[in-house]
Amino acid sequence: MYQSHQSWFAQWQATHRITNGWIKGGTVHVMTNNALILITDGQASWSINGRVQHVHLGNLLAVEKNSVVEILDNSNYALAGWIIYFDIYDLTTHTLSERQPILENESQMTKIPEVVLATISRDLMEPIDHTSNTSIIMNQYILYTLLKHVYQPQNNEKLTVENKLQLSIEYIHNHYNELITREQLANSIGISPWHFSRKFKEQYGLSLSEYLATYRIYRAQEALLTTSARSQDIAKNVGFEDAHYFSRRFKAIVGVSPKNYIKSIAQQRICFLSPLYAEIALALNIIPHSVVTTASLVPSYQRALFNSHQIHTMDMGHYIIDIDQIQRQQPTLIIGNILDDQIKNELREIAPVISGLPNEMTSLINYFGTLFHCEEQAASLINESLTNVKKYKQDLANVLRRKPTLVYLRVEHFGYRYIGERSCEIARLLYNELDLSMPPNLQGKEYSFNDLSLEDLLQANPIFLLLEKRIMDYFSSEENMKNLLNSDQWNMLDAVKNNRILFVDTSLGLNNCGIFGKPIILQNLYQFFKEQH
């Protein structure tokens, strides 16, 4: 990237919230202006001019005018943020410039520090009269604060040997199933084979042949667990021409033969990237070694459950995967959905990685039942859950005697959102399994999170209201909660007048409607409805 940008000036044009049009898979946006996209919550995968980008909380994406942004899949990851459009003026001609900001690939992504993100998010939420001089100054201030992070000075020093070795690692990751030699890699980064071997061992703790064999075996483990391919075919697909040599190396690295590996999966040091996955494993009598958690999202029952089984919990921030923490646990298998390809590639250096898991709970239980060879136990868990839900549904029918409307309202640091009735596990529980009703003006939403104005909430006027004050690192929803409770619309709601409000804990309601959390949620709902009756 160029370091001098003295010949142009950025002029703010408009600021818009990210809407559902940036969540629905297959939607295409053509940027009519240069834009900065700030992600204040959630995560998603986009294709920008054919280049896949994973965005999540704290990312700032600079996108040039006329760029094409395609949403790759329906996001159920609470995506929220802002799009700030701006023009470029040429200071030498004092006219609107057709040329674009100087970016490396027509788009550029950077990470915003948490303090800056919290401050800018608060500023963006402030009501602004865009015709006033104050608003002009504020909009320019926000624009240039973010541009400063886009154009942070880059390190232009020549690549060190260590940096060059990383390029070799990336080549191995992309071509591990091909013939790779020390001479080939050494020549590609301009050092002697002897020097390459010495520096490689210093940096990675393994010789090139050991590293390559281990990486190939990890990929073979993934294939054995997720496909029905024969061992000899897998050997060839990961770069081993000799199936017998593959078996010997496999046993030397993994400790068991390829034939016995699948049977031994329950004895692996498994790291789960989600507490919900770890819960299912425990219900199937598979004890995880470690699990990634977010401290504010771990309910008391879950913390006690993990402690009782001596499972190591690794607390990380929202949407953060700390590679070093995971590596220190020395897992022999990592299980979890990962949207970010870079993070996934780093995890695949540590151990085999299984991702692409189904989102729906029944499918997920069946998936783990197959993976851990306990299909009967999985079927029993599903039947037990269905029976439990059926019982509560009948009990609720006796209490309610009709099909009432209900809204799950989440108070965020940036506003209000409600849970779509066809979106996530707790939505399926409320609107499908328990057969409660979404108000007509809010029906038909397949996304987990949908913006909701106080006017639309009043129009919906549900009989019952589940209310969650979002708990999140670096952000507070306290102000918006106060605004809600003091609003005219709130006091006009039937649910408020009749005291039909159930306050929901962030750590339980939306995030942990799983094997152990769902029965607790059902009991809380039943008790709430019973008291109302």
The answer to whether 120 and 112 have CB atoms below 8 angstroms apart is yes
What confidence tier does 101 reach under pLDDT thresholds 50, 70, 90?
low
Dihedrals φ, ψ of 81, to 5°?
165, -165
Could you give the CA distance from residue 404 to residue 392 in angstroms, rounded to a whole number?
15
Please check whether residue 371 lies inside any domain of the structure.
Answer: no
> Is 459 in a helix, a strand, or coil?
helix
- What is the distance of C-alpha 238 from the center of its chain? 29
- The encoded tokens of residue 263 equal 């049977």
The answer to whether 426 and 494 have CB atoms below 8 angstroms apart is no
* Shared domain check, 169 and 144: no
Please check whether residue 429 lies inside any domain of the structure.
Answer: yes
- What is the distance of C-alpha 378 from the center of its chain? 26
Averaged confidence pLDDT in the chain: 89
Cα dihedral 182/184/190/191 (nearest 10): 20
The answer to whether 413 and 42 have CB atoms below 8 angstroms apart is no
Q: Which of 400-404, 432-436, 454-458 has the lowest mean pLDDT?
A: 400-404
Tens digit of each residue's pLDDT (9 = 90 or more) over 205-214: 999 999 999 9
CA triplet 322, 327, 333: central angle to 5 degrees?
Answer: 105
Please check whether residue 364 lies inside any domain of the structure.
Answer: no
Residue 510 CB burial class (10 angstroms; 0-12, 13-18, ≥19): buried
What confidence tier does 400 reach under pLDDT thresholds 50, 70, 90?
confident
* Shared domain check, 100 and 64: yes
C-alpha radius of gyration, the chain, whole number? 26
Could you give the CA distance from residue 265 to residue 223 in angstroms, rounded to a whole number?
13
Q: What percentage of the chain carries pLDDT values higher than 70?
A: 93
Domain boundary among 322, 357, 392: 357
- How many CB atoms sit inside 10 A of residue 22's CB? 21
pLDDT for res 240:
95
Domain boundary among 204, 229, 263: 263
Q: Could you tell me the end-to-end alpha-carbon distance of the chain, in angstroms, rounded to an integer?
A: 65
What confidence tier does 94 reach under pLDDT thresholds 50, 70, 90?
low
Please check whether residue 1 lies inside any domain of the structure.
Answer: no
pLDDT for res 354:
96
- The encoded tokens of residue 365 equal 């239980």
Please check whether residue 419 lies inside any domain of the structure.
Answer: yes
Domain boundary among 246, 263, 280: 263
Among 281, 274, 292, CA closest to 425: 274
pLDDT for res 100:
54
Quick one: which H or E segment has residue 96?
strand 95-96
Q: Which domain holds residue 502?
A: 384-532
* Shared domain check, 312 and 351: yes
Tens digit of each residue's pLDDT (9 = 90 or more) over 318-341: 888 999 999 999 999 999 988 788
Please check whether residue 377 lies inside any domain of the structure.
Answer: no
